[in-house]
Structure 1
Amino acid sequence: MKRARFTEEQIIGVLKEHEAGAKSADLARKHGISEATLYNWKAKYGGMDVSEAKRLKALEDENAKLKKLLAESMLDAAALRELLFKKMVGPAAKRDAVAHLKAVLGLSERRACSIVSADRTMIRYRSQRPVDTGLRERLRVLANERRRFGYRRLFVLLRRDGEPSGINRIYRLYREEGLTVRKRRARRRAVGTRAPILIEARPNARWSVDFVHDQLACGRRFRVLNVVDDVTRECLAAIPDTSISGRRVARELTALIARRGKPGMIVSDHGTEFTSNDMLAWAAEHRVTWHFIAPGKPMQNAYCESFNGRMRDELLNESLFFGLDHARAKIAAWADDYNRSRPPSALGYQTPAFYAANLTAMADRLRNPDQLRRPTIAPPAPDGAQSAEALVAAG
């Protein structure tokens, strides 16, 4: 701002001389100003003393500051309106917002950074990370093959293929690629105190049985009898059919026992297939303890209910079955992949088949002390995955 040549005191002094009778032309020549300037001073400061002139000058300066603040606030409001529909969370989003304000409103970088509350060093920073094109492509392909797998299971599968990246890097790429799996329904949490039942850590200690329903492409409904080992999490049987009676359940369990061995206990709900005379007679004949959960408490059959949820989420909701034979083939392939390839988090991301083999080998070593000097240790879970417990709680 150009500084004035004359102060208020000097201007008032010149006007006092003019009021005393001095001519305008002589005053203008004496002080080096034009007559127009003299008349402008008279229109503005005429009749004032020095204190009043200073007060007027202070009011003008304050008014100019207020106008400047108002203009700046209006500019800030206009800038915020430009960013109203932009989500400014994270450095990348703030960089885009600053670039938008500079391009649209012509703001300086300093002013734009103050509006979005960003540091200028963060705005000027350029990432030095590698592009990770190959890893991103592998992650997308794997996520398309396993559409209901989250980043933890995808990380385990990548580690199996020899990928050295950590779980945090995989999670970052997983989020940047938009591969997040949406939950189809809210998870209902148990309320109150529960007393878990400890079962022996060995295969065939306890089985769980339950049904899951679906329909074919033609609209005909069918059901799947699922049998799960509660300790190893293995899918022992997944039998689809349009009608499965208690006699059919007994026949399938008999074949399963002949192939795998007799369980210590079987858990089920109060379905008519499990409470029929055929099933009661079968349990008594084979001397198998059959435990019925409390009515309306499916969480007491949690292992099979969890397996049903995984089957529903990863197979039934993702597949269209054109016939019963097609459904049997797809379900059998999925159950085999579940046992041999899918890494459950409850087992420390080891496959059920591998975990069952380890338990069997450990039991054999305990029965034969000579083998204790040559133990077989399971490979550790990848970084970021939790290890499984020796005992499994049910309830």
Structure 2
Amino acid sequence: MAGRKRNSAEDIVRKLRRADELTAAGKTQEEIAGELEVSAATLYNWRRQYDGMDTDAAKELKELREQNGKLKRLLADAELEKDALREGSEGKILSPADKRRAVDMLVTTMRVSKRLACRAVGLARSTYARTPIAQTPADPDAALRTILRDYARTHPLHGFRRAWAHLRHDQAIAVNKKKVHRLWKEEGLQVRIYHPRKRGGVSSCPQTEADAPNVVWAMDFQFDSTVDGKAVKIASMIDEHTRLSLMNIVERSIPAQRLVEEIGKTFALWGGPPLVLRMDNGPEFISSALQQFCANRVGISYIAPGTPWNNGHIESFNNRLRKECLNRNHWTSLLEARVVIEDFKDDHNHRHRHSSLGYLTPAEYAAPCTHTHQPVDGREID
């Protein structure tokens, strides 16, 4: 089947001149249209558009019409591109993976072409069409990605640095920290944790620097509850220098006398008392029972009221205990809480790697540690 014949501007002018000659010869419009091989409607439209023009003018008019049509299409594409940019303008789109997802979203929701969507987000069409190597069997990091996903599933609040430390020290896998960071981000394993704004404050009492083991032990309480709504009180103590967790008390209530007994057991278990116990102004800590127990044995350093940042090491430990243990469990009984929290503190001592300790565990760091305390101006807190 023959395609539709398209007449150039020159052909139209020639046919109109021939139509005038036929009209002068007495032919009807239908006869003229038949001889010119066009419809009567087409001949009428040609007369409206081109009648009285020469060939050059008709050609110029047709070119102007074509240019006008192109401009309209460009304007429509530009408006559509603006709509696409507004649709995908939630923050900056930086990585190719993010841009690829943005293109998919625009194609799916706005029904725009892939060409226009790629132009809107600034992604080359060849890049969009190419399958990322991470999604192919040829990915050289497939095994490492699996390990990272398993680690994140087991420790959902850990970051890539602790995952890297696990790979380097526990799995004996030599891998660059930057590569772990890249894979961690590509797998979407980042977890945003809210950190409240830190306020500056100066303690009203002298502070002792924990520059060696058994210099400053910090204490604090936390509260949780079993599923029946009854309170669970947790007492923790750590060595600020080695980060070792030294004491674990999980009870419904911990009166001052019970606290004193447990502190005495902790002193015996860890080879004697430290130089200083650092704590807040809780009722158990300012009790006469604790004061009498510590007299002439160990110094007590109370932080200023309302300044928990002055006891930052135990606050950090409690924060980790809260997010990684307490918030992830529902206690059916006090015994269950005791067992799980004790296991968490043992895991903290023997498997949790601290960046401040050179990615050693507290137990690994404390074993060979030979630091000695250097008093400031020869004075210690009493």
**TM-score (norm. length: structure 1):** 0.72
Give 3-state SS (helix, strand or coil) of 1:238's partner.
strand
Distance 1:255 1:345 in 2: 30
Tell me the residue number matched to 1:64.
69
SS at match of 1:135: helix
Number of residue pairs matched by the alignment: 353
Partner of 1:5: 10
1:53 deviates by: 6.7
State the AA in 1 paired with 2:158.
F
2:311 is the alignment partner of 1:301: yes
Residues 270 and 293 of structure 1 are in contact (CA less than 8 Å); yes or no, is this contact kept in structure 2?
A: yes
Deviations 1:107-143 (A, max 9, x none): 8765553344222342344444516443333323322
Cα contact 1:203–1:356 (8 A) shared by 2: yes
1:261 aligns with 2:266: no
- Corresponding residue number in structure 1 for 2:252: 242
Aligned-partner residue type, residue 5 of structure 1: E
Contact 2:12–2:46 (CA<8 Å) still a contact in 1? no
Q: Take 1:135 and 1:346, find their aligned partners in 2: how far apart are those partners?
A: 25
Aligned to 2:358: 348
Question: What amino acid is aligned across from residue 268 of structure 1 in structure 2?
Answer: M
1:251-288 Cα distance to aligned partner (Å, 9 max, x none): 222222222222111111111111111111112142x1
**Amino acid across the alignment from 2:144:** L
> Which residue pairs with 1:122 in the alignment?
127
2:150 paired with 1:145: no
Map residues 1-395 of structure 1 onto 2, 5 A cutoff: 3-5=8-10, 43-44=48-49, 46=51, 60-73=65-78, 76=81, 90-95=95-100, 111-128=116-133, 130=139, 132-159=141-168, 160-183=170-193, 185-191=194-200, 197=207, 199-259=209-269, 260-286=271-297, 288-360=298-370
Larger RCO, structures 1/2 (Cα 8 Å, 6+ apart): 1
Residue 34 of structure 1 deviates from its aligned partner by 8.5
Distance in 1, matches of 2:111 and 2:339, equals 64
**Range with bigger deviation, 188-197 or 101-110:** 101-110
Give distance in 2, aligned partners of 1:59 and 1:158: 68
Contact in 1 for aligned 2:100/2:128 (Cα 8 Å): yes
Q: CA, structure 1 residues 104+272, in 2 after alignment: closer, same or farther (shift >3 Å)? A: closer
SS in 2 for 1:138: helix
CA spacing shift, 1:73–1:328, aligned 2, 3 Å:
closer
Residue 297 of structure 1: CA displacement? 0.8
Distance 1:296 1:103 in 2: 54
> Residues of 2 paired with 1:298 and 1:356: CA distance?
26
Q: Distance in 2 between matches of 1:249 and 1:348?
A: 33
Say which SS state the counterpart of residue 208 (structure 1) adopts. Answer: strand
Q: Deviation digits for residues 285-321 of structure 1, max 9, x if unmatched?
A: 42x1111111111111111111111111111111222
Give yes or no for contact 2:207–2:301 (8 Å, CA) kept in 1: no
> Unpaired segments of 5 or more residues in structure 1?
26-31, 364-395
Q: Is the 8 A contact 1:201 1:359 kept in 2?
A: no
- CA shift, 1:169, in A, is 3.0
Say whether the 8 Å CA contact 2:219–2:279 is kept in structure 1: yes
Deviations 1:310-335 (A, max 9, x none): 11111111122232222222222211
SS of residue matched to 1:203: coil
Distance 1:144 1:82, change over 3 A: closer
Instruction: Please give the alpha-carbon distance, in whole angstroms, between the structure 2 residues aligned to 1:74 and 1:324.
Output: 65
RMSD: 4.3
2:237 partner SS? strand
Contact 1:24 1:38 in 2 (8 A): no
- More deviation, 127-136/96-105: 96-105
Closer, same or farther: CA 76–24 of 1 in aligned 2, 3 Å: farther
Unaligned runs of 5+ in 2: 1-5, 28-34, 373-382
Q: 1:105–1:222: structure 2 CA closer, same or farther, 3 Å change rule?
A: closer
